[in-house]
């Protein structure tokens, strides 16, 4: 009985009276949750295996939806949101999960179609604007219909003669049926072009990352529904003349042949780049022991790196393969009295490896130590173990090898960086808490009902993990604005 109490209280304190009377319906209560958190991927032509766009489609999967949402499997989001926050977080609140459960328990009632908020307008074109340069894959690639995953790297020459000052790169998948995710990199060595030349197919196959020493060449990433990160004014990246941009596409399993020709939209920095985005990484050389995974053992590795000058973190990418099971990355002060949480991934999923951008620039002071702790389960209890029976595993790029990397994108710290937002620029929409397309009294009432909340807050406009007067002021400054 005790286990039901938290659910009971959360229903009692936060759900409208209608729900208490057990009239949770699809149109009024469930559709807004599904449309906001699921439909971007679960609609025709997107990566989700079935559409979730109307009553019949959602009701047919009701119990399954309750299961995948209560276990946290869907929406896919591997970082622990109670540890740190990122741009474009995909999480359901406890109330939203309770609503889905209550709906299934009530027999999935449809309700009144007039209550349905309608499908959101999913953006079709660029989400950033008109690109300054479009780099397409040189030729279409056919992903065979044999129900397997494919990791293929494409080499896109940038500008042969001049440097490019970049504020954003946007991946525009050519075929969303099979485009599971993409990772971008930069190659100034010509190595990737050589690998491409040796492979008869367009691009070349590479499971791990880019198929050669991946140091410092991560450049961003894309998963369905993710927002493109635009660097704030004055911050950007320089792509040197003659460099290649690398696009690693992960194509998901398909029963039929699918053809893709993805493009990358390039947005130039409007102002000269005063602060160059730099990438550093923690790798096996930072570990306190040799990286080796004996068969039938669970092992944890701890890497450390000293921070010698004040930096502002932009994003973080932990990277391992299929035997890895968890990550914790944080920074500690010299006296160990202060810990800055960076990312915790309690249940690593290679399929949903991501590129995680902090909501604001995140300062790590000089003298601090970065820690990366990863656990690996090389037993047969790990369902993703590529070896059956388990084998001894070493460091490498292949499917059955393992890796230990944490990539950090950063700039040198400047006074005031803590308030520099990395959220996509659409200031008028942050206050639209009800998602009805306009910032109105309803949003204000919603915020007030969540006032004082300190964790997992639904009305946390400024993403500081609390609902305070600052959130209200930000909402009021956008009042009346259409989104």
Which residue of 42, 275, 319, 371 would you call a contact of ligand HEC, by CB under 6 A?
A: 42
Which residue of 75, 211, 283, 390 would you call a contact of ligand HEC, by CB under 6 A?
A: 75
Which residue of 27, 31, 35, 37 would you call a contact of ligand HEC, by CB under 6 A?
A: 37
Q: Which two tokens stand for residue 420?
A: 């520099």
Q: Is 236 in the site for ligand HEC (CB under 6 A)?
A: no
Which residue of 24, 30, 31, 47 would you call a contact of ligand HEC, by CB under 6 A?
A: 47
Q: Is 69 in the site for ligand HEC (CB under 6 A)?
A: yes
- Closest contact distance (angstroms) between CB of 445 and ligand HEC is 25
Which residue of 14, 61, 174, 340 would you call a contact of ligand HEC, by CB under 6 A?
A: 61
Q: Is 237 in the site for ligand HEC (CB under 6 A)?
A: no
Q: Is 48 in the site for ligand HEC (CB under 6 A)?
A: yes
- Closest contact distance (angstroms) between CB of 345 and ligand HEC is 15
Dist CA 384 CA 400 (whole Å) = 11
Residues binding ligand HEC: what is the number (CB under 6 A)?
22
Q: Is 153 in the site for ligand HEC (CB under 6 A)?
A: no
Residues 316-375 that bind ligand HEC (CB under 6 A): 351
- Closest contact distance (angstroms) between CB of 190 and ligand HEC is 34
Q: Is 138 in the site for ligand HEC (CB under 6 A)?
A: no
Dist CA 16 CA 32 (whole Å) = 14
Using CB under 6 A, which of the segments 66-74, 129-137, 319-327, 392-400 binds ligand HEC? 66-74
Q: Looking at beta carbons only, is 9 or 64 nearer to ligand HEC?
A: 64
**Contact footprint for ligand HEC (CB under 6 A):** 37-38, 40-42, 47-49, 61, 64-65, 68-69, 74-76, 90, 92, 223-225, 351
């Amino acid at each position: 009985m005790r286990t039901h109490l938290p659910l009971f209280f959360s229903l009692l304190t936060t759900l409208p009276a209608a729900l208490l009377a057990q009239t949770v319906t699809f149109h009024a209560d469930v559709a807004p949750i599904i449309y906001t958190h699921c439909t971007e991927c679960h609609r025709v032509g997107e990566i989700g295996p079935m559409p979730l766009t109307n009553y019949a489609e959602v009701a047919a999967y009701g119990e399954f939806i309750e299961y995948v949402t209560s276990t946290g499997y869907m929406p896919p989001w591997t970082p622990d949101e109670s540890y740190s926050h990122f741009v474009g977080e995909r999480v359901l609140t406890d109330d939203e999960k309770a609503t889905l459960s209550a709906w299934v328990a009530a027999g999935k009632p449809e309700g009144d179609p007039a209550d349905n908020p309608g499908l959101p307008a999913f953006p079709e074109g660029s989400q950033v604007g008109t690109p300054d340069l479009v780099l397409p894959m040189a030729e279409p690639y056919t992903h065979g219909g044999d129900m397997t995953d494919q990791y293929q790297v494409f080499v896109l020459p940038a500008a042969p003669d001049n440097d490019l000052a970049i504020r954003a790169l946007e991946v525009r998948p050519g075929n969303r049926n099979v485009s599971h995710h993409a990772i971008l990199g930069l190659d100034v060595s010509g190595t990737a072009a050589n690998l491409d030349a040796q492979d008869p197919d367009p691009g070349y196959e590479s499971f791990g990352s880019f198929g050669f020493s991946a140091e410092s060449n991560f450049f961003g990433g894309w998963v369905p529904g993710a927002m493109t990160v635009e660097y704030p004014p004055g911050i950007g990246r320089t792509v040197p003349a003659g460099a290649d941009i690398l696009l690693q596409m992960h194509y998901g399993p398909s029963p039929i042949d699918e053809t893709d020709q993805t493009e990358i939209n390039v947005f130039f920095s409007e102002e000269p780049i005063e602060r160059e985005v730099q990438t550093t990484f923690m790798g096996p050389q930072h570990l306190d022991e040799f990286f080796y995974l004996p068969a039938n053992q669970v092992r944890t590795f701890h890497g450390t790196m000293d921070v010698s000058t004040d930096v502002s973190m932009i994003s973080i990418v932990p990277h391992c393969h299929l035997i890895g099971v968890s990550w914790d990355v944080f920074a500690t002060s010299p006296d160990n009295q202060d810990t800055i949480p960076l990312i915790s991934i309690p249940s690593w999923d290679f399929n949903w490896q991501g590129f995680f951008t902090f909501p604001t620039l995140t300062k790590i002071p000089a003298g601090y130590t970065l820690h990366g702790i990863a656990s690996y389960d090389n037993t047969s209890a790990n369902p993703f173990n590529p070896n059956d029976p388990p084998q001894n595993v070493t460091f490498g790029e292949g499917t059955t090898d393992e890796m230990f990397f944490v990539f950090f994108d950063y700039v040198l710290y400047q006074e005031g960086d803590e308030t520099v937002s990395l959220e996509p620029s659409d200031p008028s929409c942050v206050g639209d808490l009800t998602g009805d397309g306009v910032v109105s009294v309803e949003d204000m009432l919603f915020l007030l009902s969540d006032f004082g909340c300190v964790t997992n807050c639904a009305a946390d406009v400024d993403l500081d993990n609390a609902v305070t007067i600052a959130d209200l002021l930000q909402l009021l400054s956008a009042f009346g604005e259409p989104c």
